[in-house]
Structure 1
Amino acid sequence: MKMSSMLGSRFKETPADCQLDSHKLMVRGGYIKQMTTGIYSLYMPTKRITKKIENIIREEMDKIDGQEVMFPVVMPASLWQESGRYDSIGSEMARFKDRSGQPVVLGMTHEEAAVHLARGAAQSYTNYPFMIYQIQTKFRDEPRARGGLIRVREFTMKDAYSFHTSQEDLEQYYEKCYTAYENIFRRAGIPEVVAVKSDSGMMGGSVSHEFMLLTDCGEDTIVLCDCGYRSNMEAADCIVEAPETEEAPLTKVLTPETKTIEAVCEYLHAPANASCKAVVYQKNLTDEYVIAFIRGDLEVNETKLRNFLGEEIHPAEITQESGIVAGFIGPVGLPEGVTYVIDKSVAALNSSVCGANEENYHYTGYNVKRDTPDAQIADFAKTYEGAICPVCGKPHIRISRGIEVGNIFQLGTKYTKSMEMTYIGQDGKPHYPIMGCYGIGVGRLAASVCEVKHDDYGPIWPMSIAPWQVHICAIKATDPEVRAVADELYQKLQDAGVEVIYDDRKVSAGNMFSDADLLGVPVRVIVSPKTVKRGAVEVSKRDKSLREDVAPENAVEYVEKLVQTMLDEFK
């Protein structure tokens, strides 16, 4: 490809509305163009990068017996009504009616489509196990689109679905996919991706992992320990040491004007880790109140609380009619009909301070087992830096940030059961297949690589996914000798099967090098009057680890070997 013919321009100015480095560089480098919020057109360099990522994904999926298929983007609402998700998913899913008035949806994920394709075609246990996958455009009306291709509304994704006759078989295949994902990220140039325990969210299922690229700019919070424990904050266990407190009688005390946990603890000279604070929510469907009681020095992990309750909640608006006394809420003496749940951090205390459900009064000596023996107890606290690791038992938890580049789920029979997909087992009876689900966002992966593989001047693309392998810069291309050497090198490298971008434009050396940095091609070959004069071309690496003069007659062989050596790093 000659740059004089390539669509798209590069520029020095940093766009004002770009916060992430990958977003800035991909706009400046002529990779993407925003059409509207969260929706982008891709220029040629990005399309070449994503095509290589897709090929890596296909190779790894095919190695584990994946069958590539294609699901529709538009699906009838009835399919999603079968699974129950048509009503449970909110405005993130685009709904409309076709010309006949039938309700349809734009696919944001394809579990329903996978079951639809497989049911009827896999009716006997002899058809199992199998895995089908696609690489397809999806649309999710993401309310927080940001960061260029990191979080978008329209995106290309590889999603795979496996079907099994036993949980054991699913678990074995899950491990194969886990390994395949590690291979994909290593081959894409980011072997530092880690897998973390995660919350399944709207996907359902009991076991799930997210693959996280650790970076300070990531919007996901990751919980780590040196022993190898890894979890998304939403799914992380919170284990804390209970302070030594002696059991005491439940005693109501006057605590005027102490509506916060900090104020009451200061007034009563009690430590926050020996107090019980209330966080009030309401159920989305009914507006019924739910009160979460948690240790005063901890915060509620709302995802864990939602999972425990089995329904969506939102921060409460406390009315006078509710009978809830804001600022003085406690587990003892709550109004009738109010649901409450107590975090295990409070249950571990022999004695604590809590609200008395009366204006200006609190209790001291609250003991969960004695004073509220029928209380529901759960873990819904948010873990923190220095908390106890649930694996090694040491207070070594640390918090990091990351970008989710892939996820895998053990779905169980959530979809096959709701959509009545069955097969006849060896016993002659119908059974529901057990499913697994495995996703990777292609554009997000490309942008994530850029996020961690760049310098101040532009991306440093790994050879395995770079838009081109070699970038020829012809400085003063109007010089006949320069042009002759550069043209011949371009043609011979192409004939040798090397992917080459050739800057043949009549621009300054500074502009040419700046654009080359923004394109981030791994190997650069400079042909200029100076190199011609000394009987050489200058070969360098984009990461600045190599710069060497090579005779023009040896350049093709030298560059071929260099490219192959760099490709071999990703096998």
Structure 2
Amino acid sequence: MRLSRYFLPVLKEDPKEAQIVSHRLMLRAGMIKQQAAGIYSWLPLGYKVLRRIERIVHEEQQRAGHIPLLMPTLQPADLWRESGRYDAYGEEMLRITDRHKRDMLFGPTNEEMITDIFRSHVNSYKDLPLTLYHIQWKFRDEIRPRFGVMRGREFLMKDGYNFDLTKDDALHAYNRHLVSYLRSYERMGLQAIPMRADGGPIGGDYTHEFLVLADTGESEVFYDSEITDLKFGDRDIDYDDHTQCQAVLEEFTSRYARTDETHDAALFDQIPEARRRVARGIEVGQIFYFGTKYSEAMGATVVTPDGSRVPVHMGSHGIGVSRLLGAIIEASHDDKGIVWPEGVTPFHVGIVNLKQGDASTDSACEALYKELRASGFDPLYDDRDERAGAKFATMDLIGLPWRITVGPRGLANNKVELTSRKTGVSEELAPQEAVERLKAIYAPVFASDNG
């Protein structure tokens, strides 16, 4: 994309309404525009990152054997009355009445609707196990929406639901989701720590939240510092292997890590003092096993091998897709702007032309732009007739991981400058060498994108 043809309404000053870093930088970088309290339009740059995060979630869910579908945002209230949650959920649920005086709601989650789909089409244990998921806009009427996309009223969420014959099978689905989430977050450049949590209005005896450590986190968290040394890496997991998934779960949950809601001071004090940590965390996902809570209430049963009929065991599993974008910025920024990890960056590399209109620099930039695109990259070419300082400031603000700077002085020696946004380190290379270096850097990202 040529910046002269792109819609990137950056701001020079910090917006007064922004209280935390991610909100401030998203507004300044032209990623979002507030339309109402807690409700945002996603402008092109923000939308690109949102779609990159969504793609990773889709890929990892399907890698784990989960099947995508799409449910509506508006739900009939009668389904929630069947489960008993319509009155219990609280004022965060936006309740409405249509022109036929039918009670409806803007879905905050989809346990009831997915259970209705299941009971309408699945009758036998032979169709199990089954996990269905979707990525869909949700609405929760927060009393005080704040912090931009971190605590908005409208948000994009992945929610998945497993249906299994037995509790053991459902707990394997739980473990499988935990593993797939760990892989998803690492691909986004995040370390999200699974922590024992409270089931809340969804319910369930087994539940873990995934939290990213950040000073602006809404939760106080207590953990053993050893957990931050764990990496999922490129290990090849067979999601159908119960033992393998259980081993990963044990590895990542055996050390103490809890939110303030479930914190046990006595257990925490058993950790060596040098490893005890108290910090803030941003919730970016949660997994639940809640057994037959919804299937019994709504008649979601299957015929077993002996001919009897039993309610299925269920769980639900959510990832805050739009919230993740804010969490990544909170975890990866500096005083100049955003620092995107390679896996979610809106553009892989920025090209800065230091002397727009000069025949040699224009030609070299065009050649680099075409070569990068032909090699599978999505570059952003700053071809504006602007001073160099303004171009550098824009690139730093929007946070692309790599920048190629092209100017007459360097080209006289057949050199361009390749700069890392994260470290600030620059290297002078021939143009083709810069392309080859970027290919090597992005090879793991492109390999993950291709499954």
Alignment TM-score, normalising by the size of structure 1: 0.71
SS of equivalent to 1:236:
coil
Structure 2 vs 1, CA of residues 437 and 501 (structure 1 numbering), >3 Å: closer, same or farther?
Answer: same
Instruction: Supply the distance in 2 between the matched residues of 1:569 and 1:458 (Cα, whole angstroms).
Output: 27
Q: Is the 8 A contact 1:60 1:184 kept in 2?
A: yes
Q: C-alpha distance in 2, partners of 1:216/1:563?
A: 30
CA distance in structure 1 between the partners assigned to 2:425 and 2:275 by the alignment:
40
Note if 1:237 corresponds to 2:264.
yes
Cα pair distance change 1:116/1:390, threshold 3 Å: farther
User: 2: CA distance between counterparts of 1:106 and 1:454?
Assistant: 34
403 and 536 in structure 1: CA distance in 2 versus 1, 3 angstrom threshold: same
Report SS of the residue matched to 1:484. Answer: helix
Amino acid at match of 1:92: E
Of the three residues 355, 361, 366, the one matched with 1:482 is 361
Corresponding letter in the other structure for 2:412 = K
What amino acid is aligned across from residue 133 of structure 2 in structure 1? Y
The corresponding residue for 1:58 is 58
Shift of 1:25: 0.9
CA distance in 1, matches of 2:444, 2:296: 50
- Name the larger-Rg structure: 1
Preserved contact between residue 32 and residue 42 of structure 2 (Cα < 8 Å): yes
The answer to whether 1:531 aligns with 2:410 is: yes
Q: In the TM superposition, what is the alpha-carbon distance from 1:527 to its structure 2 partner? A: 1.1
**Is 1:74 aligned to residue 101 of structure 2?**
no
Aligned pair 1:548/2:427, yes or no? yes
Task: Tell me if structure 1 keeps the 8 A contact 2:348–2:401.
Answer: yes
Deviation string for 1:396-421 (max 9, x for gaps)?
86432100011000111111111111
Amino acid across the alignment from 1:428:
G
4+ long deviations beyond 4 Å: 390-398, 565-571
Q: Which residue of 2 aligns with 1:365?
A: none
Q: How far is the alpha carbon of 1:465 from its aligned partner?
A: 0.7
1:226 and 1:517 mapped to 2: Cα distance? 32
Q: In the alignment, which residue of structure 2 is the partner of 1:406?
A: 285
How many equivalent pairs are there?
422
Equivalence for 1:200: 199
What's the counterpart of residue 284 of structure 1? none
Q: Distance in 2 between matches of 1:135 and 1:434?
A: 22
1:216 alignment partner in structure 2: 215
Distance 1:195 1:76, change over 3 A: same
Mapping 1:10-89, distance limit 5 Å? 10-89=10-89
User: 3-state SS of the aligned residue for 1:450?
Assistant: helix
Where do residues 286-435 of structure 1 align in structure 2 (5 Å cutoff)?
388-389=267-268, 398-435=277-314
> Partner of 1:47: helix, strand, or coil?
helix
1:487 CA displacement = 1.2
CA positional deviation for 1:530: 2.3
TM-score (norm 2): 0.89
Q: CA contact under 8 A between 1:67 and 1:133: conserved in structure 2? A: yes
CA distance in 2, matches of 1:565, 1:65: 22
Asked whether the 8 Å contact 2:256–2:268 carries over to 1, the reply is yes
- 5+ residue gaps in structure 2? 227-254
Equivalent residue, structure 1, for 2:251: none
Tell me the equivalent position of 2:136.
136
Amino acid at match of 1:549: E
Once residues 480 and 394 of structure 1 are traced to their aligned partners in structure 2, the CA distance between those partners, rounded to angstroms, is 64
What is the distance in 2 between the residues matched to 1:476 and 1:134? 47
Residue 215 of structure 1 aligns with an amino acid whose one-letter code is A
- What's the counterpart of residue 252 of structure 2? none
Cα distance in 2 for residues equivalent to 1:517 and 1:426: 62
Q: Structure 1 132/217 Cα, relative in aligned 2: closer, same or farther at 3 Å?
A: same
1:127 aligns with 2:6: no
| Aligned partner letter, 1:149 | V
Task: Tell me if structure 2 keeps the 8 A contact 1:115–1:421.
Answer: yes
Change (3 A) 1:499 1:69: same
Deviation at 1:544, TM superposition (A): 2.8
- Tell me if structure 2 keeps the 8 A contact 1:389–1:395: no
Q: Which runs of 5+ in 1 are unaligned?
A: 240-387
Q: Secondary structure at the match of 1:202?
A: coil
